Structure 1
Amino acid sequence: MTPAEGPFAAAGELRGAYEAVDWSATPVGAPETWSTPLRTALSLAFATSFPVTLLWGPRFVLLYNAAYARMLPGKHPWGLGTPCEDVFGEIWDQIGPLMRGVLAGDGAVRMVDQELYIDRRGFPEECYFDYCYSPVAGDDGAVEGVLDIAVETTAQVLERRRSALLRRLADLPRVLRSTADLARLALPVLRTDPGDLPLLELLVPGEAPRQREVRLLGPPPRAVDEAVVVGASAAGRTAWVRVPGVGPAHDRPLLVVALSPGLAEDEHYLGFLRQVAAALGGALAVASAAEAAQARVELQGAQVRRLLGLVRVLQELPEAADVAQLEGVVERGAARLLGARRAQLSLGAPDDGDGVAVAAAEARGAVHLDVGDRHLGLLELAWADGQHQTELAEEDRAVLSVLASSTAQALERAAAREAEQRATEAVRAIAEELQRSLLTEPPPVTGLDLAVRYVPAAEHAQVGGDWYDAFTTATGALQLVIGDVTGHDQRAAAAMGQLRNLLRGIAHSGVRTPSQVLAELDAALPHLGVTSLATAVLGSLSPAEPDGSRELVWSSAGHLPPLLLVPGAAPRLLEEPAELLLGLQVDTRRTDHRTVLPAGATVLLYTDGLVERRGVDLSKGLVWLRSAAAGLDGASPDEVCDALLDLVGGRVDDDIALVAVRLVGRHL
């Protein structure tokens, strides 16, 4: 066996690492002794871009692809060929029993957002993963190893956790009536996130600190102005964050947090702490404005109305979808609250060449838009009477400070939403491409005209499990399939691919009727670890008779009835008593239905996205389908599909899959 033919030829960037391992000294032995299932599973792992590892034999020896190595840098390359317990000793009590159960024949195991503290950067790091342990059987049917497909969800879990805290902090301006109440009201909220803030204190100038926290956290190693200072304390690694606002730094509260030992001190973590401090600063500024207004309530009733207007603006800011909408909210808010004629946002940190322009803008009254020590841009206001910002009353300047601080936070949230949108669209594109790659073009069949269509749902995050198929069997019969796997995500698309391929394999011989094929498919699903439910219609068209007619034999697993179009006759649904969905009950009795199709007839198979609408009874959708098809007498299958999709319109609630076949005439 030459190196090019060895099991590591497709390992890509890991090939050198694989060839450097003395495999004969490992529990799996030399590569030339490896079983066919091991070689096959390893080649599949090398072929995918998803993180995949094989855990082989009773010691669960690690073999993995490049994506898995990048996900766990501290475990590579020494983990290759090493028993899993030696590589992942820190989490073995969590994952070991799951692997042993799969190896013992208990079936696949799937975990969602499982928390694991893995040492991959020199410390036990808080991580979250979606993964599935699937058995890999040997030639004798016994389970030889475990296939692990993993996706790290740490970023999403942390984002949800942190976003939830920031939303709770956003309610502080509604309940904080006095700056003296900041620690009393904010600390209980902050302590709802012990994962990111395991131990913390809020030091407010003029208030007596709580002795236990101060004793553990201690003073900062240097003065804390606008930046985050990180150092050591009796509680471990600690961050000191100055709450933003007006006035000197030493007159503003100081947020002190003992950092989680399971999280890296990176920009994501420290940036979150800055956002927390900014939210406290916003609440504090609102409270300061409220106190100032309350002190002058009899003489300055307008200030109270202004404060309510500020709250309305603060409520509008998070709803702005982009910078243009945000600028409109700020401009209207500035006009109502401060009597300004115009508000202009200048975004981005200036480079050295812009220093003169920035200085000129600041001289005109521009306000910095900052989140922590990061500069996002400037907010410039103009008044019709030539009034200057420095001429504003103290209360007006406080409102302006809150407006600028809240605008900066809204800008950061908008940027985060755009990034999330791009990520969501990328995931959808990948899943949709996967789904389309499985939906092949129909085969050419003499005497038949076929057309297929697939239209994804309009919502970005929705990728369904709708599929169609058309193929000929070994006997020459044409098989038509339409199906819909429950769910709208990548898992539904993956399950769809499994069902489609399995159905093809069962039906290929052509000796089974549609009901027998669906029954065998139902019986196979539990053994393959497929837990999704699905509807499907499988139809088989016999060879043409001398008059051009053909017999259609079909069976339905809970799917919508096929539509029959015969020239000169009203469209009708081939309705038969409904039978159970696939995956619901293994021993379901399934029935074949038969009808003779005359030459020129068209049969349409479709998924529920064509006829089902939110809040509308499905029966009305079927009535609509018959009515719409009545105007398509004589249309080709392509024309039928295109006309129905045009009537549905561009924005659909669910995926739509269509298969149309017409008997084009006498077959001689």
Structure 2
Amino acid sequence: MDELFDAAGSLRSAYSTVDWAATSLGPVSGWSRTLRAAVDVALHTRFPVTLFWGPEFVMVYNEAYVELIGNKHPAALGAPAARVFAEIWDVIGPMLQSVRSTRRATWTPDLRLLMDRHGYPEECFFTFSYSAVRGTDGRVEGVLDIATETTAQVLSQRRLVLLAELTDALGELDEPDQILDRTVAVLRHDPQDLPGVDILLPGTADDTTGRLLPAVPSSVFDTGDVVVEQLAGTTVVRVRLPDASGADGDAVLMARLSQHLPVDEGYLRFVRLVGAAVAQALHRAQTRQAERRVAELERELSEKLQRSLLTPPAQLEGLEVAVRYRPATERARLGGDWYDSFRQPDGSLALVIGDVAGHDRQAAATMAQLRNLLRGVAYGLRESPAALLAGLDTAMNGLEVDVFATAILARVVRCEQQGRPGRHTLVWANAGHLPPVLVAPDGSAGLLQTPPEVLLGMDSTVTRSDHRVTLAPGSTVVFYTDGLIERRGTVLDEGLAELTRVLTGQHRLTAEQLCDHLLDRYPASGEDDLAMVVLRIPPRPPGR
């Protein structure tokens, strides 16, 4: 045996078995100095290297190259490349011929080849370079192939991309049926890894067998595992999708695997991840649906609670009083806004608008407390609005109602006894609330601005002030909470100015019509709830 092959390692016996004299290379003793040098270099490197020598491209390779060609070894050693790689010769043959004729090296990254190295056409990827090996006379004697297999990297990247696309496609879907349909659509765009994909629901036909798919008991599947079957010569993997169908049993993701890839742990792990992504999307959708049901129920309950407290307004002859309440629409949440209208023992009419800080159950509960406290204080004490709000401050402090709130308490009194028929006096006190808007009989509108006073609950010893204005027939006063005019990115003063512009010229509208006009003009922002009270002194009929 020629000492040239001493560095062949585990291939040394294979080299000794080849009848080199029967090949186009001839006996080893007659090999050219160039060939012997090239073989020596190839056998002394641990990187996969093969030599395609002579016109027939006879193969001489090192130990590391065996893994790349699988069961083609040892028959490939000393054999013409066209015979060894018959299934891919239409791809690599022209490349080798080009190097031999032009002497120019090639560089090919991640080339996909269907190579028969384990008994079937296997999808493989290689990065390699073919370069000419020239003799002392300058002629090309052979081609050197330095190669590395990149199959694992390419498949991993391809599968990661598909998983990312699937996750993105399912991320915003909330309906299980949509998720299942989108899953099939996305996965069918990857025929290389998953040439056939379907989702079977309990009681639907299985296209692979023509049978109905029964409900799949959980015991058939281990947690996170898959079932692998051979159907008509094709490998099929089934992954359970818990609770996807909403019926008894579970839906099943059925994927036909590629005939060009080994069914190894990496392949099955990829299918598991696909199933996990779909199951996670289904779980997320079910969670969102449950959250929406809870939010809708909470919203419904909150509206019922607040509407049970926000009763129809009391009316007095010769006055119009209209109220509105609109809950926040951004999400189902309780609010602290309230209105009230009730008669007092002396025959006057009390009007209230208020807003408790917060948007939760606590705010709603506190709103109910303040509303009832203020009703009791205002009805039981024959005091001015300022004194009644001060009394409410005292009650809140004594009863430890630890909350802040804005409010306006107003009282409407007839002026007939003063010789002013049809006129009314509005007396009010303002605890940090937005100013009411007065629409005069001529259609002009302006804010009933008063010096600012502290919110309810901030200081039980504060002295509060009364304010009054005479309302002629045809006058309208609008009380409201901040949910009417406050919007993100809008300055409060701009909102107040806009409200006065909206109300200007609306003096002919009834109280009910004016409420509807404002709700149309200010659609729900979704950020806050809204309460509104509109008081109108109807115009006196002609001649009276």
User: Contact (CA 8 Å) 1:297, 1:304: kept in 2 or not?
Assistant: no
Residue deviations 1:131-172, cap 9 Å, x none?
xxxxxxxxxxxxxxxxxxxxxxxxxxxxxxxxxxxxxxxxxx
The 3-state SS of whatever aligns with 2:253 is strand
1:441 is displaced (CA, Å) by 0.5
Runs of 5+ unmatched residues, structure 2 = 1-124, 128-147, 217-228
- CA shift in 2, pair 1:562/1:355, >3 Å: farther
User: Contact (CA 8 Å) 1:475, 1:509: kept in 2 or not?
Assistant: no
Q: 1:636 aligns with which of 489, 505, 510?
A: 510
Residue deviations 1:34-92, cap 9 Å, x none?
xxxxxxxxxxxxxxxxxxxxxxxxxxxxxxxxxxxxxxxxxxxxxxxxxxxxxxxxxxx
Q: Does 1:391 align with 2:259?
A: yes
In the other structure, the counterpart of 1:327 is 180
- Aligned-partner Cα distance in 1 for 2:305–2:170: 38
Q: 2:167 aligns with which of 305, 311, 314?
A: 314
**533-542 or 646-655: bigger deviation:** 646-655
User: Contact (CA 8 Å) 2:474, 2:537: kept in 1 or not?
Assistant: yes
1:591 is displaced (CA, Å) by 0.9
The 3-state SS of whatever aligns with 1:310 is helix
- CA shift in 2, pair 1:544/1:371, >3 Å: same
1:664 is displaced (CA, Å) by 1.4
Q: Does 1:566 align with 2:434?
A: no
In the other structure, the counterpart of 1:231 is none
Q: Does 1:301 align with 2:154?
A: yes
Q: Does 1:598 align with 2:466?
A: no
**648-657 or 362-371: bigger deviation:** 362-371
User: Contact (CA 8 Å) 2:441, 2:472: kept in 1 or not?
Assistant: no
Q: 2:431 aligns with which of 539, 545, 557?
A: 557
Runs of 5+ unmatched residues, structure 1 = 1-291, 382-387
Residue deviations 1:233-270, cap 9 Å, x none?
xxxxxxxxxxxxxxxxxxxxxxxxxxxxxxxxxxxxxx
- Aligned-partner Cα distance in 1 for 2:299–2:522: 22
Residue deviations 1:507-547, cap 9 Å, x none?
11462111111111011112223112111011111124343
User: Contact (CA 8 Å) 2:215, 2:250: kept in 1 or not?
Assistant: no
- CA shift in 2, pair 1:560/1:306, >3 Å: same
**434-443 or 331-340: bigger deviation:** 331-340
Q: 1:356 aligns with which of 201, 211, 216?
A: 211
> Counterpart of 2:474 in structure 1: which amino acid?
G
In the other structure, the counterpart of 1:81 is none
1:401 is displaced (CA, Å) by 2.6
The 3-state SS of whatever aligns with 1:610 is coil
Match runs of 1:121-132 below 5 Å: none
- CA shift in 2, pair 1:554/1:425, >3 Å: same
Match runs of 1:124-523 below 5 Å: 297=150, 301=154, 303-314=156-167, 317-327=170-180, 329-338=182-191, 344-347=198-201, 356-358=211-213, 367-370=238-241, 376-380=250-254, 388-389=256-257, 391=259, 393=261, 394=263, 397-509=268-380, 511-523=382-394
In the other structure, the counterpart of 1:95 is none
> Counterpart of 1:557 in structure 2: which amino acid?
A
1:376 is displaced (CA, Å) by 3.1
- CA shift in 2, pair 1:626/1:346, >3 Å: farther
- Aligned-partner Cα distance in 1 for 2:467–2:428: 5
In the other structure, the counterpart of 1:539 is 410
User: Contact (CA 8 Å) 1:317, 1:410: kept in 2 or not?
Assistant: yes
User: Contact (CA 8 Å) 1:345, 1:379: kept in 2 or not?
Assistant: yes
- CA shift in 2, pair 1:553/1:655, >3 Å: same
The 3-state SS of whatever aligns with 1:659 is strand
In the other structure, the counterpart of 2:6 is none
1:358 is displaced (CA, Å) by 1.2
User: Contact (CA 8 Å) 1:609, 1:652: kept in 2 or not?
Assistant: no
Q: Does 1:525 align with 2:525?
A: no
Q: 2:460 aligns with which of 586, 591, 594?
A: 586
- CA shift in 2, pair 1:341/1:547, >3 Å: farther
- Aligned-partner Cα distance in 1 for 2:176–2:367: 40
- CA shift in 2, pair 1:359/1:462, >3 Å: closer
User: Contact (CA 8 Å) 1:459, 1:653: kept in 2 or not?
Assistant: yes
- Aligned-partner Cα distance in 1 for 2:397–2:199: 59
User: Contact (CA 8 Å) 1:525, 1:583: kept in 2 or not?
Assistant: yes
User: Contact (CA 8 Å) 1:447, 1:665: kept in 2 or not?
Assistant: no
Task: Point out the structure with max Rg over C-alpha.
Answer: 2
1:303 is displaced (CA, Å) by 4.0
1:315 is displaced (CA, Å) by 5.3
Over aligned residue pairs, what C-alpha RMSD do you find?
3.5
Q: Which has the higher helix share?
A: 1
**336-345 or 614-623: bigger deviation:** 336-345
User: Contact (CA 8 Å) 1:540, 1:553: kept in 2 or not?
Assistant: yes
- Larger RCO of the pair (alpha carbons < 8 Å, separation 6+): 2
TM score, norm. by length of structure 1: 0.50
- Aligned-partner Cα distance in 2 for 1:650–1:475: 38
The 3-state SS of whatever aligns with 2:468 is strand
1:304 is displaced (CA, Å) by 1.2
1:633 is displaced (CA, Å) by 2.8
- Aligned-partner Cα distance in 2 for 1:462–1:391: 56
- Aligned-partner Cα distance in 2 for 1:493–1:653: 16
Match runs of 1:37-76 below 5 Å: none
User: Contact (CA 8 Å) 2:202, 2:214: kept in 1 or not?
Assistant: no
User: Contact (CA 8 Å) 2:381, 2:388: kept in 1 or not?
Assistant: no
- CA shift in 2, pair 1:360/1:576, >3 Å: closer
Q: Does 1:652 align with 2:526?
A: yes
1:348 is displaced (CA, Å) by 6.0
Q: 1:612 aligns with which of 483, 486, 500?
A: 486
TM score, norm. by length of structure 2: 0.61
- Aligned-partner Cα distance in 2 for 1:451–1:343: 62
- Aligned-partner Cα distance in 1 for 2:330–2:196: 37
User: Contact (CA 8 Å) 1:448, 1:663: kept in 2 or not?
Assistant: yes
Q: 1:575 aligns with which of 418, 427, 449?
A: 449
- Aligned-partner Cα distance in 2 for 1:653–1:325: 30
- Aligned-partner Cα distance in 2 for 1:467–1:655: 10
> Counterpart of 1:320 in structure 2: which amino acid?
L
User: Contact (CA 8 Å) 2:474, 2:507: kept in 1 or not?
Assistant: no
